[in-house]
Amino acid sequence: MAEQSLISSEKWLQRHGLKANKLSLRQILSQIGFPHCEDYVTSLGRPVASRYADGLFPRFCRAEDGRVYNLTANSELIHQLVEHLAQAVESYKRRMDWLTSRSRQIFGIILEQCVTIVLDWGDILEGELDLCQDALTMVLQEQVAHITKFNIIWVSQVPVKWKERATPVTPQSIAAAISWVGNLTFESLTVSGMSRLDALLEAGKDETTESIYYFVVGEVSEESKELLLEMALQIPCLVHTVSFNARGEGTIAFLKELSARAHGRFHAFAERTECVEFPAFSVKDDDYVTSWNSRKLKGKLPP
């Protein structure tokens, strides 16, 4: 379930990883054998290994520390461990598929219970508005719907708030927020560094907010970068940065540094619009038509 999966990969591994399932290499070796004893003999000035098991058991040497294990397991136990490891691999694959799909691919994972999303769409291109609205709608439906409180602030000359303070999550509030996002219109704004800082500081004024998700579309001016990096420590809560369709490496590097200074996380997404071939609806089996991928948020890594 989504609400059970909205945890960091670190916590997920603690609950479902190899060690939690007693499937790490060290744990497996302890189940299928025993360490070959070795001790340091002072009179000889070197470690000496016992010889009682020579030739009796197959041996395995751990590359990490060079420790040798005598293997005693029968084939039935080995097959059971192989099956458990195969199940663990499938579990990892499902987690990775989930992490890299839909709202998680676009936004990362929201880990806190009370958040404010700050929308910096000052560099948005006209054709990107629908995509950005779809992306945020998906985040609200799939992730925000499973936390406790939220708010949205739009970066403008004066910050535009959806609500004055973070509001409880209900089906009604999620629907109202989606409607508010859907009514945002394309504007070619000149957003200054101070406008961006004002919106982040305004989000931080709400004492119930645990973290800010700073959702940046496109590029950020050099003047804004300098100001935000300089003032990052004045923002009173964690700032996680989310880059959407960055067009250059400079913005990516800036958002990574900003999130690091504000003790937050960084995530990046770029839409995929490569030209691809699809089979044509034709009598001939080898006919193909060339078409652009649907712009419905198929993603890749940015520059």
Residue 283: pLDDT band by 50, 70, 90 thresholds?
A: very low
pLDDT at 277 over 80: no
pLDDT in tens, 255-268: 999 999 999 999 99
| pLDDT recorded at residue 31 | 79
Is residue 242 within 8 A of residue 269, CB to CB? The reply is yes
pLDDT at 29 over 60: yes
Rounded to 5 degrees, φ, ψ at 61 are: -110, 120
pLDDT in tens, 188-210: 556 788 999 999 999 999 999 99
* Residue-range domain boundaries for the chain: 2-99, 111-300
Mean pLDDT of 48-67: 62
- In the DSSP assignment, the letter for residue 190 is -
| pLDDT recorded at residue 296 | 56
For residue 143, give Cα distances in angstroms to 114, 163, 234. 12, 19, 28
Mean pLDDT of 261-289: 64
Q: How far apart are CA 292 and CA 276, in angstroms?
A: 6
- In the DSSP assignment, the letter for residue 36 is P
Rounded to the nearest 10 degrees, the angle between the axes of helix 171-182 and helix 129-142 is: 170
**Taking the alpha carbons of 18, 20, 21, 25 in that order, is the dihedral positive or negative?**
positive
Q: How far apart are CA 273 and CA 91, in angstroms?
A: 30
Is residue 215 within 8 A of residue 120, CB to CB? The reply is yes
Rounded to 5 degrees, φ, ψ at 100 are: -105, 25
Q: How far apart are CA 46 and CA 37, in angstroms?
A: 14
pTM above threshold 0.85? no
Closest among 195, 205, 200 to 166, alpha carbons compared? 205
Q: How far apart are CA 195 and CA 187, in angstroms?
A: 15
**What tokens appear for 39 in the block?**
């001790």
CA dihedral 15, 17, 21, 26 (to 10 degrees): -130
pLDDT at 240 over 60: yes
Kindly give, in sequence order, each residue whose CB lies less than 8 Å from that of residue 266, ignoring residues fewer than 6 positions away: 240, 241, 243, 255, 256, 259, 260
pLDDT at 212 over 70: yes
Is residue 153 within 8 A of residue 116, CB to CB? The reply is yes
**What tokens appear for 285 in the block?**
């089996």
pLDDT at 285 over 50: no
CB-count burial class (<10 Å; 0-12, 13-18, 19+) for 63: exposed
Mean pLDDT of 56-79: 73
Mean pLDDT of 78-92: 92
CATH topology of domain 111-300: Rossmann fold (3.40.50)
Chain mean pLDDT for the chain: 82
Closest among 217, 220, 226, 230 to 261, alpha carbons compared? 230
- In the DSSP assignment, the letter for residue 67 is -
| pLDDT recorded at residue 288 | 44
pLDDT at 295 over 70: no
